[in-house]
Chain A
Amino acid sequence: MALKHFKTQLEYFKISLKTALDYRASFIIQTVSMILNDIVWIIFWLIIFNKFQNTNGWNLNDMILLYAVILTSYGIGGVFYGNRRNISSIIVEGRLDYYLTLPKNILYHVIISKASWYSLGDLLLGIVLAIMFIPLVKAPLFILLIVLSAIIFISFDILTGSLAFFMENSEETSSTLREGLIAFSSYPLSIYTGLTKILILFIIPAGFVSGIPVQLLKTFDATWLMYTIGFTIVLTIVAVSLFYIGLKKYESGNQLYVRT
């Protein structure tokens, strides 16, 4: 049964790729500009860490590990589950009905039905960084961590996207929350103190997405790994439940939006 689901995903993947390659120049430019963007950031951090010594223990190597983790996990989300950031607009524009008439699990169908090729650059660069800077012996741990991060990213997107079931005009809020997660995850995480630390662990889970994985890659700690796995599971359950609760509301037809 799961195999059949993957076959559907593969088909959508093929379609997304075909559509993108139709505009070949655009496709290449998008991928290249993403890679350039990421490289610019790496150079930026190179300059910063070269110049400054005080960074609460973070150094350039940590920063590269961070990038390897978030680029790969974010890239996976984008390439394979590309519609995760479009949940709000799909709900608002009445496009859910397409999915509701087809015999597939709704949430899954929604997120796999598009590939976001902007993320391909991230994914490629992330993998390159991983190959270059992560020792082979840590590869299984790395793979586990990026799977967890990817799930957290996707679940967070599902959570924020589902707000559209409950609130009017939620798109800006969702979008800001998502960008907030990416922003917090892309800066060294040792710089926060006290209350902020709690914020970035549980509210905008940048801590679990990149901070803790980097720590775990440096010094393995089974307890923190368990915490991360636990958090991932809880977040996923909450996000998926919220979506289906909202879906029920949507199907009861209390019209927040016009449905033709």
Chain B
Amino acid sequence: MDNKQYKNLAEAISIKDLNKSFKVRQKDSGFKGFCKSIIRSQYKNVDAVKNISFNVKSGELVAFIGPNGAGKSTTLKILSGILYPDSGEVKVLGLNPQKNRKKLAYDIGTVFGQKPQLWFHLPAMDSFNLFARIYEIPQEVYKKRIAELIKKFEIEDIVDQPVRKLSLGQRMRCEIVLSLIHNPKILFLDEPTIGLDIIAKKNIRELIREINDKENTTIILTSHDMDDVEKICKRAVIINKGSIIYDGKIKDLKNNYIKKKTVKALSETPIRFSARKNVKIIKKSEFGIKIEINTDKTPIKNIIDYLLKNNQIIDLTIEEPEIEEIIEAVYRK
């Protein structure tokens, strides 16, 4: 697919009424169960994805989030053609991933944080060369492209070292370069910053945004890291128990749900803190307290200042809500 076609596409991804369920083998434990399973296998039907629909425009940055087992990976796998749906209409770049797996593969890139594609014992450069061949990129085009990418991702010094000798952050940068060699129109990123330190995470997020900016690559990101989500994407699709429970701007998500923070404090002297508006005391003991603050209404600074001024604070923790909490909140609403 050339760039002009891509730009003119109404939707890069369109999903309509997608359904997918699995038959999972039921294995009873113990000897009786073992005997039972030889005679006749028991299957339980598990709905992974129930009637979901959403569209993604070309060049969008979408975060696809949900707790484990919510149906994220299933949906991603269906989009990349690895898994077939039970029913529903799926179009990626105008093509049916089930029927046009190979054709689509030329325009899709994937990065799985937990399943590296780089060859472990060899320099990243060798993997790059391999993928250039797999994607049938003409040598002149490839040479230019890889030089660009290496420069942009600042991996000049490490491309010739065996991947096993690189740090996690360096490896991730190389993995992302690997996924971009063939100039994909859509990039699926699954936990790209897992295990990275803060600096490396920041670095990766910037690079992803730049790629989207420069090349108009559609980005689908799954991550359990809310910072990843916030800093990279503009739109979030939240899935839970197989259904989409939120599809909208991240700004709105933040405004409605993420503006709560939890503060835990431990004091040398008996803790002093009284209830007030927009602040909920979750737990209080003689020397410690756990407070939930609506940071939209009360700046967290005020609470912290008060605590520090009126107590001998020896430990202070500020926590953001877990994604599960947000989803719960979304779900409840």
Contact = CB atoms under 8 A, between A and B. Distances in A.
Q: Do chains A and B touch in the complex (CB under 8 A)?
A: yes
Interface of A: 4, 7-8, 10-12, 14-15, 18-19, 22, 97-98, 100-105, 109, 248, 251-256, 260
Nearest first, the 9 A-B pairs at minimum CB distance are A103-B105, A11-B133, A100-B82, A8-B133, A11-B130, A103-B106, A103-B102, A253-B83, A251-B84
B260 interface: no
B19 interface: no
A206 to B, nearest CB: 33
B136 interface: yes
B110 A101 contact: yes
A113 B215 CA distance: 31
Contacts of A22: 121
B280 to A, nearest CB: 38
Contact of A98 (B23, B73, B117, B136): B117
B119 interface: yes
Nearest to A8: B133
A3 to B, nearest CB: 10
B324 interface: no
B63 interface: no
B243 to A, nearest CB: 19
B22 A253 contact: yes
B283 interface: no
Given A19-B121, A251-B82, A103 B126 contact: no
Given A254-B22, A255-B24, A97 B84 contact: no
Contacts of B117: 98
A11 to B, nearest CB: 4
A232 B24 CA distance: 38
Contact of B83 (A11, A18, A251, A256): A251
A2 to B, nearest CB: 12
Contact of B134 (A8, A14, A256): A8
A173 B25 CA distance: 22
B136 A4 contact: yes
A254 B126 contact: no
B126 A15 contact: yes
A18 B122 contact: yes
A253 B49 CA distance: 13
Interface of B: 20, 22-25, 73-74, 77, 80-84, 98, 101-103, 105-106, 108, 110, 114-115, 117, 119, 121-122, 126, 129-130, 133-136
Given A19-B119, A22-B121, A98-B117, A252 B84 contact: yes
B122 to A, nearest CB: 6
A101 B105 contact: yes
Contact of A18 (B98, B103, B126): B126
24 contacts: A11-B133, A11-B134, A12-B130, A14-B126, A15-B122, A18-B122, A18-B126, A22-B121, A97-B77, A97-B115, A100-B101, A101-B81, A101-B105, A101-B110, A102-B135, A103-B105, A105-B102, A253-B22, A253-B77, A254-B23, A255-B23, A256-B25, A260-B73, A260-B114
Contacts of B108: 101
A92 B51 CA distance: 30
Contacts of B98: 251
Contacts of B130: 8, 11-12, 15
Residue of B20, B81, B101 most packed against chain A (CB within 10 A): B101
Given A11-B129, A15-B119, A253-B20, A104 B84 contact: no
Contacts of A7: 133
Contacts of B134: 8, 11, 102-104, 109
A253 B110 CA distance: 20
A105 to B, nearest CB: 7
A12 B133 CA distance: 10
Nearest to B24: A255
Given A8-B133, A22-B121, A103-B135, A97 B23 contact: no
Contact of B80 (A101, A104, A252): A101
Contacts of B135: 102-103
Contact of A255 (B22, B105, B121): B22
Contacts of A11: 129-130, 133-134
Given A11-B130, A260-B114, A260-B115, A100 B81 contact: yes
